[in-house]
Structure 1
Amino acid sequence: METIEQLTWQESPFGEHYLKEVNKSAFQRQLSKQLFAKHFAKAFDNDETLYVIVGTDSGLLLKYVQQYYDELKNSRFVFIDFDNVLTEIKEQFDAKKYERINVFKESFDLALLGQLYSSYLVTGKIELFRSIAVLDAKRDEPYAQLWHHYQESFQQFLVVEKNALDSRPFIDAMLLNASHNLEPLINHSDALQGGTALILGGGPSLDEALPWIKQVREKLVIFSAGRIARRLLAEGISPDFFVSVDPYDISFDNSKGMFHFVEDSILLNGNHISPKILAQWSGASSYMSTKYPWHEKDGKMEKNIAAPGPNVINTAVNAAVELGCSQIIFSGVDLCFPLGKAYESSSDEAKVGGRFTFKGVSTVKDNRGELAETQPAYANARQGLELQVKIYLQEYPHLNFINTGLYSAAMENVEYVAPEKIEQKIDLVSKKQQVASLKQSLEMSLSERTQRVESSVKELQSQLKRFKSIVSLSKDGLKFVKTLYKNGQQDDKSVKKSMKAHSKISQIIGDDGDMLFRYDSVAFKENFRPMDEQNMEQEDIESQLTSFFKGVNRSAEMFSKQLELAIHYAKLTEDELKNRDFDALSERWQKYDAIGRVFNFVKWHPEALQVHAEKIEALQQNFYDELSNTQTRLVESLEKKSRDLPSLISRIEQAKEQHNRQTLVELLEHLQSLQEDAAVKSLIFYVQGLLADIDGNAEEAIAVLKQAEDNIIKEKALLKCLSICMQARNHQCSLQTLEALCSVSLNYMIPYADFLKTIGQLPSAIQILEIYVQAQSQDFDAWAKLIQFTHEVDPQRAKQIAEQVIEYDPENEMIKAYL
C-alpha cells in the first residue's frame, strides 16, 4: 500500500489548517464542519455504536466528531490513517480528554475490534465510514488503496464475527450427532505416517488436474470435499476420505454424491456435520473436535484432533497432517475465481450463476503474482490456511505443501508445481494398506456401539437437568429485578435475591457461559447496551440485570428444547441397535427425513431382510431416488442468489471502478441469461453503456445508458452519462443529462446550477437555486451558494437574502463572513 511521502500544511480562506496532499482543495470552498455536516448527515445519530472511520481529514474530522462526544456517551470512534499523517496532527488531539476516540495507523488489524470493543459486536452496531480524503481520492491514490483494504477487511471481519456469534446451528447439529459421533479421530493419529495427501476442493483448477490424478491415484491418499463426489463418481475416482463439516441440511444436497462411496471411503466429519448426512452414512466414520459443546466435569474440553474452519479444506488439511501425512498437495483448492470461474465445471454452482452467486467480492494474488477476484469467505479460508501451514512448519519442518493450480490463490509456504512435474519434486509412496487398516480399526461391534450410544443418552439427560435448573433460576431473577427499586429507593432484599440468583446461575453455567451466549446471542442483544459501568444509573442497572436474566432464560430454554430433541434422536439410534419394532422405526425415519438410516439398520441386523424385505427395499429405493434428484433446495437457492440485483449492482460498480472489461462482459452474459424484467433490462443497458465507454464509443455509450429506466439503475446510468458528456466537453449533452437527473432527485439541482454558471448562464443558475431553496429551505449551503451567485449580478439583493438566512442559521460562518 502506498503512503503520502510529503505533507504540507495549508490555510483555507476560513482560517482552517489542513494537509494539502491529504485534502487537496476540499476545504477551500467551504468550512470543514459544513462539508462534514453534509457528508455525515445523520451518520452519528445513533448512540451505543462503534464508528470506524478511514481517514482523519488532516485532523479536522477528529475535531468534528468531538461535538458528538458528550451526546454519544456510550459510543466509540475508531479512526485509521497513515502513520505520518497521525504524526503531523497529534498535537491537535487530546487523547486523554476524548478517551472514547481512538486513533490507529494503517497497519491496524480489524480483527482486534473484537477484543477491544466486544460489547458492540454483541449488539451488531458497527459502522464503517469514509473520510472526505477517501471520497476525493482517485483509484490508485493512497487513500483509495487504504479504503479498499479496510473495506475488504471489514467485510471479512463481519463474516467471521457473525459466524462466531451465530453458533446455534452448529451446536444444534452437535447435539443431534451425539449418538453417531462415537469414535474420535485422535485415537488414530499418525495412522498414515509418511503418506502423500491430495486435498481435493471444488474449484475450477480441478478440471485440469483430473487426468494426472487418475494416473497417480494409487500413490496418493485422497481427502475430498463432499461437494465434488458426483464429479469423482463420473471420473471413476474413489477417494480414501470424504471430509464434511457444514451443519445445514442444504449441505446434504451439495454432498449426497458421497453416499455412492459408503463401501470405499471413510467419512471424517466435524462434530457439527449436518445430522442428515451423518445419521444416514452407513460406512466407516470418525469425528473431529469435541463431541459436546460443554466442558467436561474437570473443566476441560475433550481432547481430539481439531476441525478448524472456516472452510472444509482447512479441516481436511488438519486431518491429513494429524494422521501423519508429510506431503500435502492441493488440487481444486483455488480460494479465488481463476479466469473468472468459481467452481469445477460439472457442479450445480457452475451451471447456475457461477461466481455471481456471491455478494461480496475482494481480491487476492494468484500463483502467477497477478490479482484475482475472490469472495470474503474464500479470503478468510485462504488466510486461515496460510496461517495453518505456518504453524505446521514450525512444529513439523519436514512437511511439504504444494498447489497444482497456476491460477489458484497464492499462499506463503505453499509452492505451485504443475501436476505433471510433481513426481520430479517429491516421491509418491502408496499407503493403501495403512488406509485399509485404519478403516478396519473404525469398525465397531454391535454391543460396543450400543454401549457408547447409551452413554451418550445419559450425558444428554444429565445436561438437560442442568440447563432446566438454569431456566428456573433465571425466571426467579427476573421477578427480583422488577422490585429492585421501590419509590426510587433500593430494596435490599430484592438486591440480595437478584445477586444470589445471578451467582447460582454463574456457578451452574461455569465455563460454559460463552457457549450459552453464542447459542442465542440475539436474546442477549435485545436488552444489552454498551455503557460506561462507572456511571450507571438506576435504570441502567435494572437494564443490565434484565438483559442477563432474559438472555440466560431464553438461551437456556431453547438449548433445553434442543437437548430434548437430541435425546429423541439418540434413543432412535438406541432402538435401531436393539432392533425394536421395525414399523415404528420406519415411521420415525420418515418423520426426521432420514430414510437412509435403513442402511445402518440392515448392516446391524442383516436378518431383518428376511422379515421386512419388501419394506426395506422400498425405503432403500426411495433413498436412491432422493440421491438422483437434481431439483434440490441447493439449486433453488443458487438460482435465487444469481438473480440478487443489489449484489449484481455492487459487482458492476466494482468492475466499473476498476475498468475491468472482462468482468463486465461476463456480467453482461450472466444478465442476458436471466429472465428479463424492467430491472434486469435496465442493468443490461447500463453494462452495455459501460463497455461502450471503455471501448471509446462515447456516443454509443450515451445512447445506451439513457435507455435504463429502472429508478435505481437510471440514476447510476445518468451519472455515468454525465461523466462521459463532461469529459467530451459536450455542454448540450451535459445539460440534458443534468435535467434528467433533477427528475430523479432535487439534489442534482445544485450541480446543475454550478454547471450553468460555468458555461456562462448565471441568471439560469440563480433561477435553479431559487427553485431548490424553496423546496429545501434548511439547506443553508445552498442558500450560501445562491447568495454568492446573486452577488455577481445584484449585490443588494444578495445582502437581503443573506440577512434573511442569518436569522435562521446565526452560526453560518460563510454567510457571516459575507455580511
Structure 2
Amino acid sequence: MTAMTLTENILSTNKFGDTYLYAINRGTFDKISANVVFETTFSKSLLQEDTLNIIIGTDSGLLPKYITEQGIPSGSRYIFIETQDILDTLNQHHLLGDFPTEIACLTADEWLEKASDFKIDQYLYIGAVKSFNSICAQQFARNEYAELSWTIKETLHTLHWQHNAAIGNESFIIRQLENATDNLLPAGLLKNAFKNQTVIILAGGPSLSNILPWVKQNRSKLTVFSVSRISRQLVANGINPDFVFSVDPQAISTDYSKEMFQFGSDTIFIHAYHVHPRLLNQWPYTSLYLGERLPWKSIINPENLDSIGPTVTNTALNTAYFFGFERILLAGFDLCYTKEGITHAKGSNEQLAGPKYKLTSLQVETYNGEKRPTGQDFYTALEVLSQQAEIITADQRKIINLAPTAAKARTIEHIPPEKIELTEIEIAPIDIVAKHIPKVSDTDLKEDFEALTTELKKALHQISNIKKLANKAIEINNRMYNKEGLIENYRDKRNLDIIEKQLNRRYKVHGNLVKRFGLRNFLKITAPHKSDWNAEKAKDVGLVYYQSYLTGAKHLIELIEDTLQRTQTRQEEQKNNPNFTMLFTQWNKDQCFNRARIWLKNHPNTHLPEPIATEFESFSEKFDAFIKNDASKRYAQNRTVSRLPDVKARALLLLKHKKNEELHDLLNALTIDDKEPNKASYLKLISAFIAEIEENYDIALGFYDEILNYENSPLLEEALLRIALISINQQNNENAFLALECLSQLSPLYLPFYAESARILGQLMIAIDSYNAYIAQFPNDTSVKLKLANLYLENRIPDAAEMMIDHILEQKPDLPAALTLKKIIAEQKQS
C-alpha cells in the first residue's frame, strides 16, 4: 500500500475551475489559480518564439492547457514528458484535451522520436532548445519526475554539445582572433618527435589522487602530460609536468588552471587556438597551439594538429599519438564518478563543492567489474576515447589505464601502476622540443608580426566592403516592397541579386567567415516551422538576412582592429625603450598583467624611470593577486542552495529498485558532505531504507522514530508513511493506526487508509468520519464511497448504506459493484 495506490485517479476542482489530480499537484492550486501560478513561476520563458520546449510533467494537463490558451508562439513547439500511468489517467479523465499539433504529451520512451519530427536538430543549431520542470516535477510529486528530469537534461546537454561542435561556436572565433598574435608556434612541429617513448596523461578524475605518489616516485622515467585544471594538485605534490594542456575558451578556466603559472620553464603549454587568452598571453615559457591561427584561409595557417573533444584529455591523447609515443598511460581519466558521487580528484573545485546527488541511472563498467554512475558528457567522452583507442592501437601503439575504477574503454587495458616497467628517460622532453623547435629570434618575431598584420588588414578591407554591401542591401530591401509586401521596383530586385553575387563570389572567403561567425542569426531565417513565409513577410526575411551580415561584419571588424592593436603592442614590446603608455593600456585591457614581468625578463639591462618602474610593480602585484585569489574555496562556499531534496529523491528511487549498495554509497556521500548542515534526518532516512532492504525492520522503525523527533523535519510524511507500511506488513495494527492518524492530518490523501485502519481496530465512528471527510473533499471518488457503503453494511447500518449507494447510482446507474450492493442491502433489510 502506498499513497498513490488509491488516490492517483482522484480529481480535485478549485474555485477557479481548475481540475487536477490531487495526488500530483496536492495543494498547489487550492488558493491560487493555475494560470497565476504558471505566470508567476515561468513568466514569459515558456512563450518564446522559434523555441522547442521540453517539459517534465504536465501539472495534470493544466500546463499545456495554459500554453494553448496563451497562444502558441510563432515557430515554437512543446513536448511534455509524463509517466505512462499518469498519461493514461489524464486521458481517462479527458484532461489532455485536443491540444494543437504544436503540443505533444508523451512518455520518456517516445519523446526523442517526436523531437525529431519537431526538427530538434534545427532548434539546436540556433540554440533554441529549452528544458523546464512543471510545478509537480519541481516539487518531486513523484519519484519518477526526479529521474526523468536528470536523464532528459543530461541527454539535452549531450545533444547541445554535439550540435555546437558540428556548426562551430562563435566564441571560438572570438578567441581565435584574440589569440592570433600570441599563437606563434604550431604543435604540429613535434610530429613523431617522441617515437618509441612512454607518456603518462594526468586528468582530473577521482582516481588521480591514488596515482600521484607513484608518478612522483617515477618522475624521471616518465614524460608527463597534464590537463591544466589539476595544476593545483600537481604543485601540492611537487610534480612539474613536461606539457600542460588547456582547450577551454571560458573565463572560468583561468580560475581552475592558474596554478600552472607556478610550473618551471621546462613545462610546455599546449593549447587549442581558442583557449582563454589570460592563460596564453601571460604564459612566460614556450607554448604550442592546436588548430588554425586565423579563422579564414591564409598563408600563415601552417599544417597543424587539431584539438579533439569533448574533453581536454581526449585532446591530450590525440596529441600523444601525433607526437609518436609508443605507450600511453592514463591516470585520472575515469569518465565516471566515485560510488559517493564525487566527480573529480581530491583538491579540485568540484570535489570541494561536495558529492553530486543528481545522478541518472546511466552507469558504466569499470576495469574491476564494478558499475559506476556517470553523466552524459563523460559517457560521450568515453565513446570518443574508445574510437581514438581503436585507431591508435591499430597503429601498434599501446594505451593503458592505471586505475581499476576507471570506465572500461575498447582496446584500452588496465594494468596497475606497480606492474608498469619503466626506464630512465635519456633525453629530457624539453631538449627534444628544442631540437624540433628552434628558439624564436627577434627577427623571426618581427617578420611574423608583419605577416600577421598584412593578413589582418587584408581581411579588414574585405569585411569592411561586406559591411557596406550589407548596409546598401538593407536600404534597398526597405524600399523595395509596397504595403502589401509585393515588389514594386524590379530594378531594386536586380540590384539585390548583384549584391548577393558579390557576397558569394568576390567576397566568398570572408563572406563565409561572416556567416560562420553569426551562423545562428542566419539559421534563424530558416527557423523550424517557418515555411509559411508569405509575401507580406518577405521584407522582414530580407532584413533579417542582411542584418545578420551587417551585425557579423561589424563585430568581426572590431575584433580584427583589436587584434591589429594587440599585434602592434607586441611589436612595441620588442623595443628596449617602447611606448610604455601603449603597453600599459593593452595589458590592462587584456588583463595580461604578467606581461610586465615577461618584458622585464626580456630586457634585463633597461633602466626604467621611477614612475614607469612603479607601474611595473603594480602589474606584478595584480598578477600575484590573480594567482593568490583562492577561487576554489569561493567555488565551494558559493554552494548555498541545499541539495537535500535531490538526496531524498535519489534515496527513494534506490529504495524502489532495492539498490542497497548504492544506498550505502549515498549514505557515505552525505556523511562526508560538509556543505549540508541540516542533513541529520536525511542520514536517518537513508539508514532506514538500508535496514528495510536488509529486512531489519525494527532497526528501520528506530531510525524513522528518530526522524519524528526532529523539529520541523521535512521528512516527517515520508517517515510516517514508511512506519505505516512496515506496521501493516507486520500486522501491528495499533502502530499503523497511529502513523496513519498523523498522516491524515498532514494530507487528506491518507484519510481512506486511516479509515481502513480504524475499521480493522473496530473504531467504527473514526472510520465513518474519516471516509466522510475524504468524500467531502473528493466527491468523485466512487471507490471510497463503495468502501463506506460496505462499512455501513458490515456494521448493519443498511439505511446509511442505501443512501450512499443511491447517491452513487445517481451518477453511475449501471455500475455493477453498486448494483450488487443494492441487492445485498435489500436482503439485509428483509432479514
Q: Provide the residue aligned with 1:561 in structure 2.
A: 558
2:823 corresponds to which residue? none
CA-CA distance at 1:176 after TM superposition: 1.0
Equivalent residue letter for 1:296: K
CA distance in 2, matches of 1:136, 1:467: 55
1:86 match: none
What is the one-letter code of the residue matched to 1:51?
Answer: I
Paired letter, 1:422: I
- Structure 1 contact 327–401 (Cα < 8 Å) conserved: yes
Give matches, 1:69-468, under 5 Å: 72=100, 81=109, 103=113, 117-119=121-123, 121-125=125-129, 152-161=154-163, 167-292=169-294, 294-296=295-297, 303-338=303-338, 340=340, 341-350=342-351, 352-356=352-356, 362-394=362-394, 396=395, 398-423=396-421, 428=423, 430=425, 432-433=427-428, 435-440=430-435, 441-468=437-464
Shift of residue 399 of structure 1?
Answer: 0.9
Measured at CA, do residues 436 and 115 of structure 1 come closer, stay the same or move farther in structure 2, by a change above 3 Å? farther
- Does the alignment pair 1:595 with 2:597? no
* 1:436 positional shift: 0.7
Which stretch shifts more, 267-276 or 452-461? 452-461
**Cα-to-partner distance string for 1:507-546 (whole Å, 9 max, x where unaligned):** 677577887567567756888742162x444466556545
Q: How many residues align?
A: 716
Cα offset, 1:222, TM superposition: 1.1
- TM-score computed with the length of structure 2 as normaliser: 0.72
Q: Check 1:361–1:435 CA distance in 2 against 1; reply closer, same or farther (3 A cut).
A: farther
Can you list the C-alpha shifts for 1:309-356, whole angstroms capped at 9, x where unaligned? 222111111111101111100112222233544444344544x22444
- In terms of mean alpha carbon deviation, does 382-391 or 182-191 score higher? 382-391
Query: CA contact under 8 A between 1:529 and 1:544: conserved in structure 2?
Result: no
Task: Specify every segment of 5 or more residues in structure 2 that has no aligned partner in the other structure, as ranges.
Answer: 12-18, 22-56, 135-139, 656-661, 692-696, 729-734, 760-766, 791-800, 819-831
Equivalent AA in structure 2 for residue 377 of structure 1: D
Distance 1:599 1:353 in 2: 34
Instruction: Decide which of 57, 65, 77 is 1:49's aligned counterpart.
Output: 77
Shift of 1:74: 5.5
Identity, % of aligned positions: 21
Distance in 1 between residues matched to 2:773 and 2:447, nearest whole Å: 88
Higher alpha-carbon deviation: 488-497 or 406-415: 488-497
SS in structure 1 of the partner of residue 329 of structure 2: strand
Q: Distance in 2 between matches of 1:528 and 1:372?
A: 43
Letter of the 2:434 counterpart: K
Q: Distance in 1 between matches of 2:276 and 2:170?
A: 13
Q: Are 2:596 and 2:616, in contact at CA under 8 Å, matched by a contact in 1?
A: no
Contact 1:295 1:302 in 2 (8 A): no
CA 52–34 in structure 1, closer or farther in 2 if over 3 Å, else same: closer
Question: What is the one-letter code of the residue matched to 2:413?
Answer: E
Distance change (3 Å), C-alpha of 1:159 and 1:694 = farther
One-letter code aligned to 2:566: Y
Aligned partner of 1:438: which letter? Answer: V
Write the letter of the residue equivalent to 1:694: I
Partners of 2:753 and 2:154 lie apart in 1 by: 35
1:481-492 matched pairs, under 5 angstroms: 486-492=482-488
Query: TM-score with structure 1 length normalisation?
Result: 0.73
- Residue 328 of structure 1 aligns with an amino acid whose one-letter code is I
**Matched residues in 1 for 2:60 and 2:654: separation?**
24
> In structure 2, what is the equivalent of residue 575 of structure 1?
572
AA aligned opposite 1:557: K
CA 1:582–1:480: 2 relative to 1, 3 Å: closer
Task: Give RMSD over aligned pairs.
Answer: 5.0
- Asked if structure 2 preserves the Cα contact closer than 8 Å seen for 1:750 and 1:769, the reply is no
Q: Is contact 1:80-1:103 (8 Å) kept?
A: no
Partner residue of 2:740?
Answer: 735
1:119 positional shift? 3.2
Amino acid paired to 2:273 = N
In structure 2, relative to structure 1, the CA distance for the partners of 1:208 and 1:702 (3 Å cut) is closer
Measured after TM superposition, the shift of residue 210 of structure 1 is 2.8
Q: Which amino acid aligns with 2:565?
A: H
Question: 2:771, 2:788 within 8 Å by CA — same for their partners in 1?
Answer: no
Determine if contact 2:201/2:329 at 8 Å carries over to the other structure: yes
Instruction: Report the AA paired with residue 329 of structure 2.
Output: I
Aligned partner (choices 797, 800, 804) of residue 807 of structure 2: 797
- The letter for the 1-side match of 2:737 is Q
C-alpha change, 1:514 and 1:406, in structure 2 (3 Å) is farther
C-alpha change, 1:166 and 1:361, in structure 2 (3 Å) is: farther
Contact 1:528 1:547 in 2 (8 A): no
Shift of residue 199, structure 1, vs aligned partner: 0.5
Pairwise CA distance, 1:452: 1.4
Separation of aligned partners in 1, 2:218 and 2:228:
21
Q: In 1, Cα distance between the equivalents of 2:304 and 2:195?
A: 18
Distance 1:689 1:145 in 2: 19
Contact persistence 1:363–1:371 (CA under 8 A)? yes
* Cα deviation digits, residues 182-227 of structure 1 (max 9, x gap): 1111232111112111101233323332333234323322111123
Could you tell me whether the CA contact under 8 Å between 1:196 and 1:428 is conserved in 2? no
Q: 1:725 — aligned with what?
A: 724
User: 1:603-650 CA deviation, whole Å, 9 max, x = no partner?
Assistant: 443332677895587357526633651x3344323432x3333x5533
Partners of 1:709 and 1:515 in 2: how far apart? 63
Listed one character per residue, the Cα deviations across residues 439-486 of structure 1 (whole Å, up to 9, x for unaligned) are: 351521111112212322333333344444444544555555656754
For the 8 Å contact 1:225–1:244, the answer to whether it is kept is yes
2-side partners of 1:38 and 1:269: how far apart?
Answer: 48
After alignment, is 662-671 or 753-762 more displaced? 753-762
Q: Is the 8 A contact 1:335 1:382 kept in 2?
A: yes
Code of the aligned partner of 1:384: V
Query: Would the alpha carbon gap of residues 663 and 446 (structure 1) be closer, same or farther in structure 2, given more than 3 Å must change?
Result: same
